[in-house]
């Protein structure tokens, strides 16, 4: 599906309307710095939403302090994975 340059993808617009994304104009993204950072963390499904929010804030704070990355340039994704989905060696279901 081809989109007009700068138009928000329809699935994001639907999520925003349902209250699951911050409000704002999705067609006008924040200006980004070339030093933006993407962080992906995979964890057991044991963290609460509040713990994740605190983690996001702290990561942005620390990266702002050193090496000086702007908070709007820090993207963090936490992937929750059930323990039975992990194998950390020898082909064994390590935590199942």
State the fold for domain 32-85.
Answer: Macrophage Migration Inhibitory Factor (3.30.429)
- Higher-pLDDT residue of 90 and 35 is 90
Q: Which two tokens stand for residue 82?
A: 């059930």
Phi/psi of residue 84, each to 5°? -70, -10
Query: Does the pLDDT value for residue 90 go beyond 70?
Result: yes
Tens digit of pLDDT for each residue in 24-42?
A: 555 556 677 777 899 999 9
Strands (E), the chain: 37-44, 74-81
Q: Which two tokens stand for residue 14?
A: 């639907």
pTM, two decimals, is 0.62
Tens digit of pLDDT for each residue in 29-77?
A: 667 777 789 999 999 888 999 999 999 999 999 999 999 999 999 999 9
Domain ranges of the chain: 32-85
């Amino acid at each position: 599906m081809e989109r007009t340059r700068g138009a928000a993808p329809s699935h994001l617009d639907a999520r925003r309307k349902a209250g699951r994304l911050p409000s704002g104009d999705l067609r006008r993204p924040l200006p980004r710095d070339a030093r933006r950072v993407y962080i992906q963390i995979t964890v057991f499904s044991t963290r609460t939403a509040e713990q994740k929010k605190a983690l996001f804030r702290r990561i942005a704070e620390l990266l702002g302090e050193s090496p000086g990355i702007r908070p709007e340039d820090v993207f963090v994704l936490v992937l929750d994975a059930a323990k039975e989905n992990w194998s950390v060696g020898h082909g064994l279901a390590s935590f199942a």
